[in-house]
Structure 1
Amino acid sequence: MRKLAVIAVAAAIIVAIVWFLNTSYLVTPPAGAAKVLAHRGIHQVYSLDGVGNDTCTAQRIEPPSHAYLENTIGSMRAALDSGAEVIELDVHLTPDRQFAVFHDWTLDCRTNGAGVTEKTPMSKLKTLDIGYGYTADGGKTFPFRGQGEGQMPTLREVFTALPHGRFLINFKSERREEGATLAVMLRIHPEWRKLIFGVYGGRTPTQEALRLVGGLRGYDRQSTMACLGRYAAYGWTGMVPDACRDTLIVVPANYAPFLWGWPSRFAARMRAAGSEIILLGPHRGGEFTSGIDSADELALVPENFSGYVWTNRAETIGPLLNKRLAASNDQK
């Protein structure tokens, strides 16, 4: 019995130490308010249920409530106007050495063109109607046909049109030259460096861009798993893995409560390590992770969270976050 009592006391002491090292009650949250990261700007949304890599999502949009199309300058400007701090956009390096801002690997789903996006010259991409394939009723009507002609921008055009924006660039390929070409762009136009919040996507171009552009932050699937996996293993000690330093850390909202020190102590550790947190919607399996897209899902964002909230509905979440912040300030 005495041996069991000693074991129980030792276990209680260990639990108390772990609690003390990781409780958020004993740490001041990092300063600042939650910030909106608008996925593809403001765009036509769709259900992720049953979506695969080859699903044409333009053919399953919800009935439109606005006229914006993803990855266009208009959609990005609208997102910024709604309070977004960062815009996520997708790029493909074309044969004429331009970064086309467009999500899909091929043109067949959304446009009146065909073929692989990165193999199509920008001069050709500029002639396409990027709203051609959208339908909310199984093909009975196509509400955006004719409205997207010439609307696929280059990354240069985005930077020029929105000089006060900040952008998270998604490399859609595994081509090292994408990262190298971005670095060359920034050497020629150093004033654009401040516009880039970070890079992510294909591991090879992402790591090349991080290698060539000083101070740039970014992530890929492997680096994210390395960070969160190692933190799960020994983050309770307060040690931050090297993989979590000076980077962007994406955290699915339904996994977040299992992180040592979530929310405030975890955030303080990452801030001290030079990293920013991007809070995603709940991970539901497969390759897709949703955004924080509704008032109900906003409850997944801690009150004192000062990182970035990934959303597909910046026009909804931006005002809701502002309203929540105002209510919090009124209570102080």
Structure 2
Amino acid sequence: MGRKLKYAAATIVAVAAAIYLNNTSLLATHAGGKPVLLAHRGMAQRFDERDLKNDTCTAARMLPPTHDYLENTIRSMRASFDRGADIVELDVHPTTDGEFAVFHDWTVDCRTDGQGVTREQPMARLKMLDIGYGYTADGGKTFPFRGKGIGLMPSLDEVLKTFPGRRLLINVKSRDPAEGEKLATILNRLAAERRKLIMVYGGDEPIETIRRLTPETRTISRAALKSCLIRYIGYGWTGIVPDACRNAIVLVPINYAPWLWGWPDRFLNRMAAANSAVFVLGPYQGGEFSTGIDDADLFRRLPESYSGGIWTNEIETIARLAGR
């Protein structure tokens, strides 16, 4: 072997060793403690998730209920915290009377006894609806929650007042930057310490507005998350954290996690240093975003002694598996 070839080989070995040492979790500090549990929509009714489209009425394909909690309600959120959730995710829509309604769907037609676009109605009218009206697990033969959800749609203000010391993740459902301005105004009215407990994700335009107007609030949008993960996979081996991953909510599909440099501990430490919170989701397989860590099989795919965040639709199950 010639001198130049030996030098090139030695250089390659040295670079590979440096990359390994800079990214192996074997040499990283382990944060310890139990994982951070995020309850998606609180305690909620599950539904058949196959072949979902944006306009699918999920209440009409509910699975046989095992409890009587309805998503995005005060009762549901309280039950989630009681069962071990550290954070509850909730969905919001602006209303015509200046509030934010806590409700998932773009229209009220599917779940409630009302009609029309959610954001085109006043909160007072939304308060009159029965949010359990449309749930059925047998094709419309029975409606077990009909009549039991009247007045249960809360406003964001109610949620903030009910859970003043709790961590929340707010989902902005539109791509309207004006909605970001309205939510930023509400967040900026809160005390700084309270504001630190709230994160926001959703459409690119409102999230960019919130990121500009309330820069200390951790946020993520689909475009920002894609940029964060792709760039980190590309050059995260250097230890450099992309700007899109800073002061952010980093959602990691469990099947993508092994591709992240330094996974798990080195990666978690880098994100923590960038003031970002990491949550592992269920597998991403294209199309709509992935589900949560919702059963024992997926939970077992997490690294041993994992101490980062877990996104789940089954807080009771995952809290038990996590030792809560």
TM-score norm. by structure 1 comes to 0.92
> Match of 1:256, as an amino acid?
A
Q: Percent identity?
A: 53
Q: Given the alignment of the two structures, is residue 86 of structure 1 paired with residue 54 of structure 2, yes or no?
A: no
8 Å Cα contact 1:87/1:168 also seen in 2: yes
Q: What does 1:121-160 align with in structure 2 at a 5 Å threshold?
A: 121-160=122-161
How far is 1:14 from its partner? 3.2
| Cα deviation code 1:142-190 (max 9, x no counterpart) | 1111111111100011112222321100001122222222232234443
> Match of 1:263, as an amino acid?
P
> Match of 2:262, as an amino acid?
G
Q: Could you tell me how far apart the structure 2 residues matched to 1:187 and 1:276 are? A: 21
Distance 1:76-1:258 versus aligned 2 partners, 3 A rule: same
8 Å Cα contact 1:71/1:102 also seen in 2: yes
Please name the residue that 2:187 is paired with.
186
8 Å Cα contact 2:99/2:155 also seen in 1: yes
8 Å Cα contact 2:248/2:276 also seen in 1: yes
TM-score norm. by structure 2 comes to 0.94
Q: Could you tell me how far apart the structure 2 residues matched to 1:308 and 1:33 are? A: 9
How far is 1:76 from its partner? 0.3
Q: Given the alignment of the two structures, is residue 59 of structure 1 paired with residue 60 of structure 2, yes or no?
A: yes
How far is 1:235 from its partner? 0.7
8 Å Cα contact 2:188/2:195 also seen in 1: no
Please name the residue that 2:230 is paired with.
229
How far is 1:275 from its partner? 1.4
Q: Could you tell me how far apart the structure 2 residues matched to 1:47 and 1:102 are? A: 20
Instruction: Give the gaps of 5 or more residues in structure 1.
Output: 324-332
8 Å Cα contact 2:199/2:217 also seen in 1: yes
Q: Could you tell me how far apart the structure 1 residues matched to 2:85 and 2:57 are? A: 27
Partner SS state of residue 25, structure 1: helix
Q: Could you tell me how far apart the structure 2 residues matched to 1:260 and 1:309 are? A: 19
Please name the residue that 2:113 is paired with.
112
8 Å Cα contact 1:68/1:74 also seen in 2: yes
Partner SS state of residue 280, structure 2: strand
How far is 1:289 from its partner? 1.0
Q: What does 1:156-171 align with in structure 2 at a 5 Å threshold?
A: 156-171=157-172
> Match of 2:147, as an amino acid?
G
Q: Could you tell me how far apart the structure 2 residues matched to 1:97 and 1:88 are? A: 22
Q: What does 1:220-259 align with in structure 2 at a 5 Å threshold?
A: 220-259=221-260
> Match of 1:72, as an amino acid?
T
How far is 1:241 from its partner? 1.6
Moved more, 289-298 or 208-217: 208-217
Q: Could you tell me how far apart the structure 2 residues matched to 1:148 and 1:63 are? A: 18
Distance 1:270-1:62 versus aligned 2 partners, 3 A rule: same
8 Å Cα contact 1:89/1:101 also seen in 2: yes
Moved more, 173-182 or 262-271: 173-182
How far is 1:194 from its partner? 3.8
Distance 1:25-1:289 versus aligned 2 partners, 3 A rule: same
Q: CA RMSD in A?
A: 1.9
How far is 1:320 from its partner? 1.4
Q: Could you tell me how far apart the structure 1 residues matched to 2:215 and 2:285 are? A: 35
Q: How many residues align structurally?
A: 323
Moved more, 67-76 or 241-250: 241-250
Partner SS state of residue 160, structure 1: helix
Instruction: Give the gaps of 5 or more residues in structure 2.
Output: none
Q: Could you tell me how far apart the structure 2 residues matched to 1:73 and 1:157 are? A: 8
